Amino acid sequence: MIIAVSGKGGTGKTMVAALLIRRLSEMDRYELLAIDADPDSNLPEALGVKVEKTIGDIREDLLEKRDKMPPTMSWRSQLEYDAFGAMVETDKFDLIAMGRPEGKGCYCAANHVLREIIDSIAKNYDIVVIDAEAGLEHLSRRTTQDVDIMLIVTDPSKRGITTASRIKELAGEMEIKFKEIFIIVNRVTPDLESRIPEFTEGVDIEVIGTVPEDGEITEYDFKGRPLIELPPDSKALNAVNEIADKITSL
């Protein structure tokens, strides 16, 4: 199962991705791979792991030295070797960070090969959770082409729900198919909870769950503490736990 977590910037998609990974890892039933596909690369910090090298770094290094490589050396093999070397392994999950976007020059061949390598790596896992780029870039770049479940995180704002609608529309235009697509409404205050149906009226995407406004999230972000360390009574954590349980029962 490949799960992509998307949405406009600042809605809390990385928080949702991190807590989703925590819940899935606690089930002790799945081999998990986390992919940070956002150039801002906040998922490692949220998960409490350190990334030494990203896929973007590997691509840049190889493009710099490709013309100097001996004819007997396959640059594809080198890319594959380096990609595996960039993976962070933990007891609960493994992590790959895609890193910075392209600089100057042609990246088409390298990106194509790297996408194939990442797909090959992902097949070794039961569940892959992708923290996608904010907005619609991940669709135009086809980084989430083969996704089983797309989760669009939005705050309770008109702009957020508009982005959710546009993601679905653009996916249809580009013939990118998801088996399931859901909305998660984040930072919901008690007085807004009952108004969620009104908020999402006219949007043809099911709301799989809501995440309440949680001061502990703000506090952890302020102190730079990993969100994966939130206490068991965290309101946001328990809300994402319920969403994770729904996903695994689909």
Distance between CA atoms of residues 47 and 131, nearest Å: 12
Distance between CA atoms of residues 86 and 183, nearest Å: 32
Question: Would you state the pLDDT for residue 25?
Answer: 96
Question: Would you state the pLDDT for residue 145?
Answer: 56
Contact indicator for 15, 243 with CB cutoff of 8 Å = no
With vertex at residue 185, the alpha carbon angle to CA 180 and CA 191, rounded to the nearest 5 degrees, is 145
Secondary structure letter of residue 54 according to DSSP: -
pTM: 0.89
Class of domain 2-248: alpha beta
Query: Between the CA atoms of 200, 202, 145 and 20, what dihedral angle is there, to the nearest 10 degrees?
Result: 20
pLDDT tens for each residue of the chain, 250 residues long: 989 898 888 899 999 999 999 999 999 999 999 999 888 889 999 999 999 998 888 888 877 777 676 776 677 788 888 888 899 999 999 999 988 765 555 445 566 676 777 888 888 999 999 998 876 555 545 555 578 999 999 988 877 788 788 878 877 776 677 889 999 999 999 998 888 888 888 888 999 999 999 999 999 999 999 999 999 999 999 999 999 999 999 9
Question: Would you state the pLDDT for residue 240?
Answer: 98
Spell out the domain ranges in the chain.
2-248
Question: Would you state the pLDDT for residue 44?
Answer: 96
Question: Would you state the pLDDT for residue 102?
Answer: 58
